[in-house]
Structure 1
Amino acid sequence: MKKKVAIIGAGIAGLSAAAYAAKAGHEVHVFDKNSTPGGRARQFTTHNGYTFDMGPSWYWMPDIIDNFFQDFGYHATDFYELVALHPQFQMIFEEDRLAVPGNYNELRAVFETIETGAGKQLDAFMKAARYKYEVGMQQFVNKPCHSWWEFVSPTIAMSALKLDLLSNFRSYVKKYFTHPKLVALMEFPVIFLGASPQQIPALYSLMNYGGYALGTWYPMGGFYKLVEAMQQVAEQQGAKFHFAHTVEEVIVHNKEVQSLIINGETHAFDAVIASADYHHFETLLAPPYRNYSEEYWQSRVFAPSSLIYYLGFNESIPHLTHHTLFFENDLDDHIDDIYGNKQWPRKPLFYACCPSKTDSSVAPANHENIFLLMPLATGLEDSEEMREKYFLEMIGRLEKHTGQPGLLQKIDYKRSYCVRNFMEDYNAYQGNAYGLANTLSQTAVLKPSIRNKKVKNLFYTGQLTVPGPGVPPSIISGKIAAQEVNQLKSIYHESTI
């Protein structure tokens, strides 16, 4: 039955939900408080010729992203050019660096030079990771997770042991590799899942396959090309977008959302999908209609926030690849400061993205576009002085490892982004950047529900619900939420928008 559907938030999950809901024949309206789509994946340009992606920069699991476009008769490459990165990235250690080749056989050879027998171990690891990827991304992540019974199937039952659901990622990695550099390389992808490797299920070795085996890619023009393509697909299905539109209140009657107050005006809807911050959206509901209490949210383990710097340099910087990880310090020390001590890191790791190494359109000729990101605990006091302290440390390490002194004098664009900006722009709970951590106690049915349990036509999507943080999971989350709307029975409201 045709419904009038409101989708709140035009991030990746909201764009996905809009496309699928509109394809099903519903009248779909997407509202976003910001002036452009994309949420954390927005983009901005500067007066002096730089183009910066504001958030996601790792184009992994290309097959999952392409599945979205295939559902509408396209491929991702119908909308943008994808290039494979060679090397995929490099890791900087205290005394040397490790480049990760795009070719698997070359990667295998690198492993073997670092640790005798590690090439064969990599084969075994990746064989198991591929199995997890194929089962996990087909069987697990597409479920709404209303009940554990959804996971009772012959395939999952037969796969239970191979999926390593109850072992932790660190122990699992160390069954294969002992050299600290290889352990760091294999543990790195789970940082995207927002928790220590000791707390992440070994199931997520599927990330290693989705990245290292399937490759690290880049959409020419920036990650925002994915956002633009998803919006185009949604609009082709009939979805309408409304930017600079803030939802101020949710009106519930007879346990159904009756209307939304948006920019001071009241609009009726048959169903609502909240792709905004889950906690924030619940504050727009009267307390009796909220799924979770404030105490619940305080008890959750959130993925980190981030300190980000968007930098333009007026000359090329050598010895950087598109992606560079600065791992001179101990990963566990940084993780302890994020999750245990809840403080600014004493010995931080950080990440540098330099898309101008691949894409000349993102910076003026002979200039460099660099994005620095340092993971942080959520809820930290965020001052300009503290931002600048860590900025100078990151620049110092960048100078050391590129052999390029005087970088401060070569900056011709500089903008920072941190905890309070995530709160201001996205209403992000405690300024989180990535949603909830994918720990064992926050997996599947144990995540915040995709369905409001007290309001029958209200659903949630995005990184705070199933299947979890990241671009491919958010795309899947939007599809699941749209499918939930399809199961509703309600009267169609004529549009007044």
Structure 2
Amino acid sequence: MKTTISILGSGFSSLAASCYLAKAGYDVTIFEKNDTVGGRARQLTKAGFTFDIGPTWYWMPDVFERFFSDFNRKPSDYYQLEKLNPAYSVYFGKGDFITIEDTLDKICDAFEREEPGSSKKLKTFIETAKSNYNIAIKDLVYNPGVSPLELITPKTITKLNQFFSNIKSDVRRSFKNKRLAQILEFPVLFLGAKPSDTPSFYSFMNYADFGIGTFHPQKGMYQVILALKSLAEELGVKINTSSPVKKIVVNEGHATSIVSNGKTIHSDIVVSGADYHHTETLLEEPYRQYSENYWNKKTFAPSSLLFYVGFNKKIEHVDHHTLFFDVDFDEHAKAIYDAPEWPEKPLFYASFPSKTDNSTAPEGKEAAIFLIPLAPGLNDTPQLRTTYFNKIINRLEYLTNQELKSEILFKESYCINDFVADYNSYKGNAYGMANTLMQTAFLRPKLKSKKVNNLYFTGQLTVPGPGVPPSLISGKLVADLVTKNHTL
């Protein structure tokens, strides 16, 4: 009989792991608590509109290509990509915005218009970012986070100082224009920490942004999930939805089964792509690696207040991705990381996928996704959600000079309580554990349990970190560890 593997969850990391493990010859079954696959990357459809509930940015296409090539496939076998131009725009005031286009030369022109002489500095900055990208994304992030020695290579030794300085100080040293500095600091927010707490080496995110660009899968990010699901099923993976796992049974240091929907299911190996903290609560206490105190002391990436809105008309003066930095960046960051509270004047991000993709809204109408980053663990009430929707819709109307409230057909919200209910997310975080210096690589929670011999973890709370491309990589890393430790 084949060695059986039970995988908890069906997000990017779980689906990726299932593909690698099935290809290696294991008998793989996924158990997903919700009624559709995708984890945080699910989809909402309503009244002819389609929204990605979770991730909306498609960066680092080379990581997706590398994943599919491991199975002699290409992304285009499953979905079609369009490079966005503009990639996004950033509002700083009424009718006052900077547009980031689809090539570095065009972006340099935009910088030069804003601050004469800045384009030369930008090219130098992006050259360093490209070098870091080639080291990080093509090499370092494919290490399993077992040893600090993974970070020490002939290439990284020349960049050691970049692990002990931070993105904000590097950017502000070269760019005196606050608006340009904020644009350069924006990509590291995907890593879940303030620019001042993110090592300089992570400037590779700026190369992903300016050097490679922003893409959109036709019909939305959920098409990538459906691609992974199709590939997994082609490889023989069985997927059970509406199947929450309530317990991982351990005997003498070995996981022997899981309990789902009242049934005990034998498993030779268990891999969890569910929330790491939650997964450990499925174990008897002696088999948990990390205490509540451990988790409480960690720096978590933000949670989010999201709105999915159908508008009865096309919205003017916005792009597919639009950022609203018309309020104090640092004050909002303090409300997330330093003194957690609801921000008085929040920055927000908006996605209008129907600007690019006609399938996401009926003709003449607009699909809109709004996101406000929040500290995890805040009190989340319907009244607060309404208050903050009014804040951002009023600002959207003012900044873009148009009336919109009367054109709202419907709105749905999603916030901290929903992250907890749907994903068992620790404190309702949206993106996992931040990639600060002390939470990088081998300093993150381990892929392999130290207390249960055949229990493994994958996803945004372990290696390599938050984001969609890192989640794909995490699936590969855990599968490699399983195959190394449990030969067929």
Which letter does structure 1 place at the counterpart of 2:297?
S
Where does 1:258-337 land on structure 2 (aligned, <5 Å)?
258-337=256-335
Equivalent-residue separation in structure 2 for 1:367 and 1:311 (angstroms): 11
Equivalent-residue separation in structure 2 for 1:33 and 1:298 (angstroms): 25
Determine if the alignment matches structure 1 residue 441 to structure 2 residue 438: yes
Equivalent-residue separation in structure 2 for 1:459 and 1:489 (angstroms): 12
- What secondary structure sits across from 1:5 in the alignment? strand
Counterpart in the other structure of 1:178: 176
Where does 1:72-83 land on structure 2 (aligned, <5 Å)?
72-83=71-82
For the Cα contact (< 8 Å) 1:276–1:426, is it kept in 2?
yes
Q: CA deviation at 1:112?
A: 1.2
Determine if the alignment matches structure 1 residue 69 to structure 2 residue 68: yes
TM-score, normalisation: structure 2: 0.98
Equivalent-residue separation in structure 1 for 2:17 and 2:66 (angstroms): 14
Equivalent-residue separation in structure 2 for 1:293 and 1:385 (angstroms): 34
- What secondary structure sits across from 1:412 in the alignment? strand
For the Cα contact (< 8 Å) 2:272–2:456, is it kept in 1?
yes
Equivalent-residue separation in structure 2 for 1:380 and 1:416 (angstroms): 16
Equivalent-residue separation in structure 2 for 1:167 and 1:209 (angstroms): 18
Which letter does structure 1 place at the counterpart of 2:147?
S
Equivalent-residue separation in structure 1 for 2:323 and 2:184 (angstroms): 13
Equivalent-residue separation in structure 2 for 1:338 and 1:150 (angstroms): 31
Q: CA deviation at 1:318?
A: 0.6
For the Cα contact (< 8 Å) 1:88–1:216, is it kept in 2?
yes
Counterpart in the other structure of 2:191: 193
When the two chains are superposed, the root-mean-square deviation of aligned CA atoms in Å is 1.2
Determine if the alignment matches structure 1 residue 245 to structure 2 residue 276: no
Where does 1:85-124 land on structure 2 (aligned, <5 Å)?
85-95=84-94, 96-124=96-124
Counterpart in the other structure of 1:42: 42
Q: CA deviation at 1:158?
A: 4.4
Counterpart in the other structure of 2:447: 450
C-alpha distance after superposition, 1:160-203 (max 9, x if no partner): 35xx1111110111232110111010000111111111100111
* Stretch of structure 1 that moved more, 294-303 or 108-117: 108-117
For the Cα contact (< 8 Å) 1:139–1:156, is it kept in 2?
no
- What secondary structure sits across from 1:90 in the alignment? strand
Which letter does structure 2 place at the counterpart of 1:110?
A
C-alpha distance after superposition, 1:453-492 (max 9, x if no partner): 01110010000001000000000001001111102337x8
Equivalent-residue separation in structure 1 for 2:296 and 2:354 (angstroms): 40
Equivalent-residue separation in structure 2 for 1:375 and 1:248 (angstroms): 30
Q: CA deviation at 1:2?
A: 4.7
Q: CA deviation at 1:155?
A: 3.7
Equivalent-residue separation in structure 1 for 2:452 and 2:412 (angstroms): 42
Which letter does structure 2 place at the counterpart of 1:76?
P
C-alpha distance after superposition, 1:320-373 (max 9, x if no partner): 100000000111100000111110001110001000000011111100000000
For the Cα contact (< 8 Å) 1:190–1:207, is it kept in 2?
yes
Equivalent-residue separation in structure 2 for 1:277 and 1:383 (angstroms): 23
Which letter does structure 2 place at the counterpart of 1:483?
D
Which letter does structure 2 place at the counterpart of 1:392?
N
For the Cα contact (< 8 Å) 1:43–1:52, is it kept in 2?
yes
5+ residue gaps, structure 2: none
- What secondary structure sits across from 1:218 in the alignment? strand
For the Cα contact (< 8 Å) 1:289–1:454, is it kept in 2?
yes
Where does 1:390-429 land on structure 2 (aligned, <5 Å)?
390-405=388-403, 407-429=404-426
Q: How many residue pairs were aligned?
A: 487
- What secondary structure sits across from 2:250 in the alignment? strand
Determine if the alignment matches structure 1 residue 9 to structure 2 residue 9: yes
Equivalent-residue separation in structure 1 for 2:152 and 2:200 (angstroms): 20
For the Cα contact (< 8 Å) 2:140–2:150, is it kept in 1?
no
Equivalent-residue separation in structure 1 for 2:319 and 2:399 (angstroms): 12
Which residue of the other structure, out of 463, 468, 483, is the alignment partner of 2:465? Answer: 468
For the Cα contact (< 8 Å) 1:322–1:354, is it kept in 2?
yes
Q: CA deviation at 1:99?
A: 0.5
Q: CA deviation at 1:159?
A: 4.7
Q: CA deviation at 1:151?
A: 2.9
Counterpart in the other structure of 1:495: none
- What secondary structure sits across from 1:141 in the alignment? helix
- What secondary structure sits across from 1:319 in the alignment? coil
Equivalent-residue separation in structure 2 for 1:238 and 1:200 (angstroms): 40
For the Cα contact (< 8 Å) 2:167–2:203, is it kept in 1?
yes
Which letter does structure 2 place at the counterpart of 1:476?
I
C-alpha distance after superposition, 1:283-307 (max 9, x if no partner): 0001110110011011111100000
For the Cα contact (< 8 Å) 1:305–1:375, is it kept in 2?
yes
Counterpart in the other structure of 1:484: 481
Which letter does structure 2 place at the counterpart of 1:114?
E
**Percent same amino acid at aligned positions?**
46
Equivalent-residue separation in structure 2 for 1:295 and 1:119 (angstroms): 47
- What secondary structure sits across from 1:372 in the alignment? strand
Equivalent-residue separation in structure 2 for 1:151 and 1:88 (angstroms): 32
C-alpha distance after superposition, 1:427-452 (max 9, x if no partner): 00000000001111111111111110
For the Cα contact (< 8 Å) 2:325–2:348, is it kept in 1?
yes
TM-score, normalisation: structure 1: 0.96
- What secondary structure sits across from 1:477 in the alignment? helix
